[in-house]
């Protein structure tokens, strides 16, 4: 394993593509490829319903694609799967495990923690070793319509207090992505308005537009494996 550098940690910025549920690994790879073509900078493999074997096959296929593009693949919720496929990182939601334990088992991985509408939780996650936190739902979400709304103020406060990158999630579209970035989001995490689009690459380009003026927006860095 190659330890992450400070430079790599600071590259947690841009469109964060979170995969939709699908049983077809080929379809999933094609969708993610289109998102990467459009400018996605990170990918999270999220599957709540597939069997363990299918999840492993999908994660492995996505990892090959992401490694080829120099983009980190983060596994949602499942530390054993992240370790098994040598993913680049792990994301933990509420009840999905202790960030301190995850950090001890994955010392060189990217570690993200969902903090919902609670900046204090973001501070605790940073102290436990998280590389970034997720705040949201910042807007009304089609994927999680019952999710607590954090609003942009909680995002800005989490960024100020935790002092690590913040991913805005929930209801983000091309029309409001710039608001989240202006409020302090380093990343915008998107499922529906990206993968629900008939033109995934085009949607990725539109969602990435708030980051387009950054000098290094075209650069890709090969992330460290677990």
114 tagged catalytic: yes
- Rounded Cα gap, residues 31 and 194, in angstroms: 9
- Rounded Cα gap, residues 196 and 31, in angstroms: 10
Q: What is the pTM of this model?
A: 0.89
Among the ranges given (3-7, 35-39, 103-107, 118-122), the one the predictor scored with the smallest mean pLDDT: 3-7
> Within a 10 A sphere around the Cβ of 6, how many other Cβ atoms?
7
Nearest to 111 by CA among 83, 91, 97, 128: 91
Instruction: Tell me which of 47, 114, 150, 208 is the catalytic residue.
Output: 114
Among the ranges given (6-10, 14-18, 25-29), the one the predictor scored with the smallest mean pLDDT: 6-10
**Does residue 132 contact residue 110 with C-beta atoms inside 8 Å?**
yes
4 tagged catalytic: no
Tens of pLDDT along 143-156?
666 667 778 999 99
Alpha helix (H) residue ranges in the chain: 6-9, 25-37, 52-69, 79-85, 99-105, 119-127, 151-162, 177-182, 192-195, 200-208
Tens of pLDDT along 93-110?
988 889 999 999 999 999
> Within a 10 A sphere around the Cβ of 63, how many other Cβ atoms?
20
Instruction: Tell me which of 33, 41, 46, 205 is the catalytic residue.
Output: 46
**Sign of the Cα pseudo-torsion (64, 70, 71, 77, in order):** positive
Nearest to 165 by CA among 203, 125, 194: 125
Instruction: Tell me which of 100, 103, 105, 144 is the catalytic residue.
Output: 144
150 tagged catalytic: no
Q: What is the mean pLDDT of the segment spanning 197-208?
A: 98
Chain position carrying tokens 């990918």: 43
């Amino acid at each position: 394993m190659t330890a992450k550098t400070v430079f790599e940690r600071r590259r947690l910025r841009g469109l964060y593509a979170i995969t939709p549920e699908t049983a077809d690994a080929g379809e999933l790879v094609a969708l993610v490829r289109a998102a990467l073509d459009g400018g996605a900078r990170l990918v999270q493999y999220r599957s709540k319903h597939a069997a363990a074997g299918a999840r492993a096959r999908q994660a492995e296929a996505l990892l090959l694609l992401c490694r080829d593009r120099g983009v980190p693949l983060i596994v949602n919720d499942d530390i054993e799967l992240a370790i098994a496929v040598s993913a680049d990182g792990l994301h933990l939601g509420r009840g999905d495990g202790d960030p301190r334990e995850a950090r001890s088992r994955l010392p060189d991985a990217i570690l993200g923690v969902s903090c919902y509408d609670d900046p204090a939780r973001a501070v605790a996650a940073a102290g436990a070793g998280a590389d970034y936190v997720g705040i949201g739902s910042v807007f009304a979400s089609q994927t999680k319509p019952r999710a607590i709304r954090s609003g942009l103020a909680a995002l800005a406060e989490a960024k100020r207090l935790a002092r690590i990158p913040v991913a805005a999630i929930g209801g983000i579209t091309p029309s409001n992505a710039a608001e989240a970035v202006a409020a302090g989001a380093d990343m915008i995490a998107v499922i529906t308005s990206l993968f629900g689009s008939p033109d995934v690459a085009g949607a990725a380009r539109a969602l990435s537009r708030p980051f387009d003026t950054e000098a290094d927006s075209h650069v890709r860095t090969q992330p460290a494996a677990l």
